[in-house]
Structure 1
Amino acid sequence: MRGKTHCAIGVLSVIQASLFFKIPISIFNLILSAFFSILPDLDESNSIVSDFFLKKNVSKFILKATIYLINIAIFFISLKINDNFYISSVVTFIAIIIIEAKLTHTLLRKIFLSLIFVFLAICLYLINVKIYFSIFCLMLATFPWLKHRSFSHSIFATVLIYFLLKQIELIYNISNLAFFGTISYASHLFLGDLFTKSGIPLLYPISNKKFSLGFFRVGSGFNNILEMLFVLLLVSLIIFTIIKM
């Protein structure tokens, strides 16, 4: 499913859960649910949540700047070693070809996305924030390196998310943080990607088998209509629940 559909489903799921269990909901909870509903796709470098932390145009600029700086460094190092302008130019030209082939935009985005979360984890630790925040950030730092729809789309990731959020909730007395965060995260799996034809590996890493109830095929016009109908179904369910209350 598309990121915006996951986001809508996550928010609607949290609203429905708050009505069903009679738990008060706030704007903070809705923002939280929107974030956690797209969080599993952090394992995809071109996803909405990845772009939230690092814009594509920024990472493309960083890529160009990095390549230029490396090539300049290679040129001057080569010039210092052999003291020949022409040989250094040839060496630099060959280096440009190799570096541009190996250092891709996707690879660089993964590196910088991971570094953002590692840096955040270190900062939180240094200012004496409870360790669970740092652990949570370090877990997110691994997501960009995961194969798409692997651990982040499993039951075990959902349980781990609940555990970390619950510890943070207890420490800082944030009402229903784990409840709403986990429901929105789980909505990505059980009300989203589980219904795609490719499915998700719910038992990863124990098993790579993908489970699917699928009829959604991401990218097609017909699929976009199905996604809209699915969202409208959830809206109708919420309205029905409110009427019955």
Structure 2
Amino acid sequence: MRGKTHCTIGILSTIQACILFKVPISIFNLVLAAVFSILPDLDESNSTISNVFLKQDASKLVLKIVIYIINFAIFFISLKINNNNFFLSSIVTFIAIMILESKLNHILLRKILLSLTLILLSLCLLFIKVKIYFVILFLILASFPWLKHRSFSHSIFAIIVIYFLLKQIEIIYNISNLSFFGTIGYASHLFLGDLFTKSGIPLFYPISNKKYSLGYFRVGSFFNNALEILIIVVLVGSIIFSTIKI
């Protein structure tokens, strides 16, 4: 499903859960649920959550700068090695350009930059002596860009890990219902989102690579978009019904 759909479903699921379990709702809690509802897609370098940390235009610009710097360095090093032979150095640089552009692509650079950003956040938190569970959470998220899309981040075990870390943070800092809102938002991505797509999700990864699916439509197709709208309508209807019943 699309990022905006995951976000909408995450917020609606949270509101419904709050009504059912009589948990107070606040703007902060809804924002928290919205963020966690798109976190699983950090394993996709061009996802909505990835663009929150790093815009595509920015990473493309960085890629160009990196390639230019490396090529200039190769050219001048080659000149030095080959006794200022301009022609030979130009050939070496041209070959280096072809190799670089085939190996160092935009997707790879985005993965590197996304991971470094999250690792830097972890180090900053460690530096200001924030409790270790915060640091662990960001380090786990830093590994997501290197995971195969819809693998560990889309499994039940990822939900358990997220719940455990949020619960520890909740207890240490006395943040009411942090694990409740974060976990519901994260779980909504799987069970009210990607589970209904044709490619499905590996619920028991890494124990099993088998993907489970309740849908037959490709993400972005007309029928899949219609299914997304239907799920949202059902959730809104459920919220209205629960509110009236109370």
Q: TM-score, normalised by structure 1?
A: 0.98
Q: Which one-letter code corresponds to 1:42 in the other structure?
A: L
Match of 2:181 in 1: 180
For residues 87-98 of structure 1, what are the structure 2 equivalents within 5 Å?
87-98=88-99
Residues 145-199 of structure 1: per-residue CA shift (max 9 Å, x gap): 0000000000000000000001111111111000010011000011111111211
**Aligned amino acid, residue 159 of structure 2:** T
Q: Distance in 1 between matches of 2:217 and 2:8?
A: 16
**Separation (CA, whole Å) in 1 of partners of 2:222 and 2:48:** 19
Q: Quote how far apart the aligned CAs of 1:222 are.
A: 2.4
* Worse-superposed segment, 74-83 or 153-162: 74-83
SS in 1 for 2:16: helix
Residues 87-114 of structure 1, C-alpha deviation per residue, up to 9 Å, x if partnerless?
1111111100110010010000000000
Percent of aligned pairs with the same residue?
A: 72
| Partner Cα separation in structure 2 for residue 155 and residue 216 of structure 1 | 23
State the SS of the aligned residue for 2:199.
coil
User: Structure 1 residue 47: deviation in Å?
Assistant: 0.4
Partner of 1:15: 15
Hey, what does 2:31 align to over in structure 1?
Answer: 31
2:160 matched residue in structure 1: 159
**Uncovered stretches (5+) of structure 2, i.e. residues with no partner:** none
Q: What is aligned with 2:120?
A: 119
With the length of structure 2 as denominator, give the TM-score of the two structures.
0.98
2:197 is aligned to 196
The one-character-per-residue Cα deviations of 1:52-95 (angstroms, maximum 9, x if unpaired) are 10000000000000000000010111111112111111111110
State the Cα distance separating 1:217 from its structure 2 match.
2.2
Aligned residue in 1 for 2:229: 228
Provide the C-alpha distance between the structure 2 equivalents of 1:224 and 1:155, rounded to a whole number of angstroms.
Answer: 25
How many residues align structurally? 245
Give unpaired runs (5+ residues) of structure 1.
Answer: none
